[in-house]
Structure formats: structure tokens, C-alpha cells
A and B are shown apart, each in its own frame.
Chain A
Amino acid sequence: MHIHTVLSPCGDLEMSPSNIVAKAKEVGLSIIGIADHNSTKHCALVRKIADKEGIFVLMGVEVTTKEEAHCLTFFPDEASLNSFQRFIDDRLPSIPLDVDLFGYQVVVNEDDEIVEEVPYLLISGLNASIEEIEKMVHALGGLFIPAHINKNKFSVISQLGFIPFDLVYDALEISPHTTPAKFCSLIPGLKAQTFIQCSDSHIPDTIGSAYTIFNIAQPTFDEVKLALHRTDGRYVAIP
């Protein structure tokens, strides 16, 4: 649920939508989440290619809040995804991309040909607080998941000391460097929450290196949401 494409400055040039889908198929993933930094522009293409392979794509984005906390967001359809893209466009600082420092930010087509270069640095913090972003995501029917909360940089906990008590989220993501049990031994107050673990892949080789099992009836956005909320017998498990 946390794969970067070549559109992210830190995403390897090999992370084209077709390569990601091919690798996901090779390692046996049935659902993948696309979450570039502050951009949704590759989601629809990944979904189109993945559809042919029977892989379900959660379309989303890894936003950087004003506090520089990274959060995963996913949307039920292209309309809500595009609405959220406009929200981002209005709030992303116009810092020109230095390709030598940060890497390329390109949109490609199905044949891996570059069709657009995004000129502004995509990893900057949006001019919106974590609460403003959470409210927008949920107003659009999306999922809001603070990312790699165990990490000591760019996580809600590193930036804000602890998760704001009134923050509404659908799950919490931990990185492959820990386990829910280990993490909760440090912060027991989070034991009752739903955790997902993801690869945060920036290169093809790590796709599938960490994953979460969704016990659901069929791969759809609504079923994924039910599982995160442990409703109607659906649930998630970290292997």
C-alpha cells in the first residue's frame, strides 16, 4: 500500500507504471497502493495497466503536511482523487526542482515514454496542517493513514511528538524496520489501533518485501476500508 513511482523525486527511473505492475504480479501481490509524494498523476495509469493483470490498485498520494509529517491517503475513484489533486495544487510551495539534488519527477505513458516533467519539488510540506488534510481526505470519502509512524523523521510522531489525540485516521503504517508488537511496547496506548506494514518501495526490487494481508470478500476500495475498520468480519493482518 505504499509504492512510489518514477514521479517521486526519490523514485527510481525503473519505477514506471508498467514495471511496477509487472513486479507486483511476479511477487504475487493482489492489491497495490500507489502513493507518490504530493502527486496523484500516475495512479490512473497504474490502475489501467494493473486491471489487465487482475491486480487491484488503491489510488492515492503520500502527502507532506505543514508539520512535515508524511501521511498516506487513498481515494475511492478518479473524481475524488482529482479533487484532492486540486487541493494539493493550491497548497504546494512553488520551489523549483533541482534535478541534480533530488532526481527526476516525470510522468510517463504506458510505453514508458516521458509525457510531463513536474517543475516544482514534490516533497515540500503543503501549506495545510495534518488536521486540515485529514478532514479534506475524509470529506472526499478517502482513507487517511499516518505513514511510517515508527521512524524518527517525517513521521507524525517525530514531527509532533505524539499523535494528536483527536486526529481521525483509518490505520497507522509502520515501516519494515519494526513489528506492531515491538512498536506498541514503546507506545502501549496505540495497541488497539489497526496497523499496516508496507514496503515504501522506491525501486522495483523491494516491491512486496513487506506487505499486509487483507481478509476481504473481493478487492475493492470499500472492502479495504471495512478491513481497516475491522467491520463485517473483515480484518487485516501483518505476516
Chain B
Amino acid sequence: MKIAEVAEQLNLKVCSGENGLSNDVLGGYASDLLSDVMGNAQAGAIWVTLQTHKNIMAVASLKDLAAVVLVKGAEPDADTAAHSNDEGIPILTTELDAFTIVGQLYNLLK
């Protein structure tokens, strides 16, 4: 499934990185510890977090993730969004909390 379809089906707002909306989603990961994400997320995953710091894009790029989903209405910091555009890794946001959006993502991707 493409990021664009995930965004449409789960009503996620695209904040940045539109040029990566055709990325394929191969799985998912949820964590707010970037050291943990660096160690354990798989390439192609859609990553759910509440962190908005620019380091999330460095980690997403390093791990070749498909997209980042921010929860509870969080928006990326300006430098984070710029990095997302450069890398072609979209940042999406939802008003839902992590538990709820992860449940929806799981059902959609399983």
C-alpha cells in the first residue's frame, strides 16, 4: 500500500514530504525513543511518534522509513518539515492518540 492511500483511508493530514506519497508501506513501528527506533524499526515502516524534533527525519532517513505519523495533532518543527521535503519522506499528522491510530494502521495493513 502507498502512503497516499494510508493517508486517505485514515484521514491523515500531510504536513510535508508530498514527493514521498508514493512510498510503499511495508510495516509499522511505534516508539518515542529515537535510539530505539534507530535500533529496531524496519525499512519501509510507517512510524508513529509524538516527537517533532528534526532528529526524527534523520532517523527516518537512516532507517529508510516510508513515512512518519505525528499524534495528538502535533505538527513538525519548521526544520523537521524542511528535512522531510528534502528526503521525500512524508510527515503526516492525526488528531488521534498513538493507541488509536496504531490500532487503525494495524487493521489497515495486516
As a 0/1 sequence over residues 53 to 83 of chain A, the CB contacts with chain B under 8 angstroms (1 = contact) are 0000000000000110000000000000000
Report chain B residues within 8 Å CB of A226. none
- Nearest CB in chain B: distance from A171 CB, A: 21
Q: Give the distance in Å from the alpha carbon of A161 to the alpha carbon of B35 in the complex.
A: 4
Q: Who on chain B is nearest to A165 by CB?
A: B58
A161 x B55 contact (CB < 8 A): yes
- Render B39-54 as a binary contact track against A, CB cut-off 8 A, 1 for contact: 0000000000001011
How many A-B pairs fall under 8 Å by CB?
34
A152 contacts the other chain (CB 8 A): yes
Given A130-B53, A164-B53, A164-B54: A158 in contact with B77 (beta carbons within 8 A):
no
**Residue B15 is within 8 A (CB to CB) of chain A in the complex:** no
Q: Select one of A129, A130, A152, A161 contacting B38, CB under 8 A.
A: A161
B34 at the interface (CB under 8 A from A): yes
Q: Indicate if A157 sits at the interface (CB-CB under 8 A).
A: yes
A164 to B56, CA, bound (A): 11
Which of the four size classes fits the interface of chain B?
A: 10 to 19
Closest Cβ neighbor of A164 among chain B residues: B55
For residue A157, which residues in chain B have a CB less than 8 angstroms away from its CB? 35
Measured CB to CB, the closest approach of chain B to A46, in angstroms, equals 33
- Give the residues in chain A near B51, CB-CB below 8 Å: 67, 159-160
Contact between chains at B53 and A162 (CB < 8 Å): no
Partner of B33, one of A66, A129, A130, A158: A158
Which residue in chain A gives the minimum CB-CB distance to B54?
A164
Q: Chain A residues near B35 (CB, 8 Å)? A: 152, 157-161
Bits for A149-182, please: 1 = Cβ < 8 Å to B, else 0: 0001000011111101000000000000000000
Inter-subunit contact A160/B77 (CB<8 Å): no
B37 in the interface (beta carbon within 8 A): yes
Q: Please report B residues at the A interface, Cβ cutoff 8 Å.
A: 32-35, 37-38, 51, 53-55, 58-59, 77
Shortest 6 CB-CB contacts between residues of A and residues of B = A161-B34, A160-B55, A158-B35, A161-B38, A160-B34, A161-B59
